[in-house]
Amino acid sequence: MEVIIRPDKASATELVAKLISNALIEKPDLVLGLATGNTMEPLYARLAEMHKKERLDFSLCRTFNLDEYVGLPAENKNSYRHYMNEHLFKKINIDIRNTHLPSGTAKDLDKECEKYEHKIKKCDGIDLQLLGIGKSGHIGFNEPLSAFFSRTRVKALTPTTITQNSPLFDRPRDMPKRAITMGVGTILEAKRIVTLVLGTSKSDILAKSVEGPVTSMVSATALQLHPKCVVISDEKAAAKLKGKDYYKWIFENEPEWEEYR
């Protein structure tokens, strides 16, 4: 794992956008794992801008989202399919048939999870997985005690997650209590992982995720086991990291980051 600290949210987001852009240019049929949430909205806006102004080409790209709420149809404005369509897919030249999310309204949810895993394997796995970290340390909806070898499955959401996400619903009580999520094991099989963590509210959990012991109580600590995972944060999210000086030194001195400085 590498940790890169940028001065603010804008510069951290820009770095992630450039990493995704370069990966797409290098491999036009990139298999890209996607995440949702407030942190990702400026990132997707920047990618859409790069498509419009720099002709960043998504025409051959294939995407797989981390999760979807159980019980919400795709057209529901709180579904992650709706989120992705509005924030990214409608603004770039991607073939919508190549954008994949699990169906939260499938009659057989277990079979839907199996199908999702099969689709990922059929694409030879995810090349670059984009992640955020929830306040309980979850990646996707892998809540505390999620097994590190877990696969795509239905997961009950914790009160912390429900409290964090329910204000996004017109009636908070309507937020589903379950979701389909890629498993920790599924996520760790991605060839490369880029995790974006921003803001003071994430400083405690970022420190636990990056520098704390590996534990299923904090799913994001599993990322320490991945050979090609980079965590990109702003100064506020990085406030409680003990190795801040070293992480900054890496960005300022390592050749792989030279073009991004």
Q: What is the pLDDT of residues 134-193, one digit of tens each?
A: 989 999 999 999 999 999 999 999 998 999 899 999 999 999 999 999 999 999 999 999
Other Cβ atoms within 10 Å of 76 Cβ, number: 17
Q: For residue 88, what are the CA distances in angstroms to 29, 42, 94, 142, 192?
A: 17, 10, 9, 24, 21
Q: Which pLDDT does position 42 carry in this prediction?
A: 98
CATH number 3.40.50.1360 given to 2-260: yes
- What pLDDT score was predicted for residue 133? 97
Which pLDDT value is given to residue 162? 93
Q: Given pLDDT bands bounded at 50, 70 and 90, which one contains residue 8?
A: very high
Dist. CA 30–CA 121, nearest whole Å: 14
CB 67 within 8 A of CB 34: no
What does the pLDDT read at residue 164? 87
pLDDT tens digits, 215-253: 999 999 999 999 999 999 999 999 999 999 999 999 999
pLDDT digit string (tens) for 15-44? 999 999 999 999 999 999 999 999 999 999
- Where do the domains of the chain lie? 2-260
- What's residue 25's pLDDT? 98
Report the distance separating Cα 174 and Cα 78, nearest Å. Answer: 10
Give me the mean pLDDT over the 69-76 stretch. 97
Question: Distance between CA atoms of 5 and 12, rounded to whole angstroms?
Answer: 7
Beta-bridge mates of residue 233: 5, 197
Percent of the chain with pLDDT over 90: 98
| Residue-level pLDDT at 152 | 98
Span 81-94, pLDDT tens digits: 999 999 999 999 99
Q: Is residue 5 over pLDDT 90?
A: yes
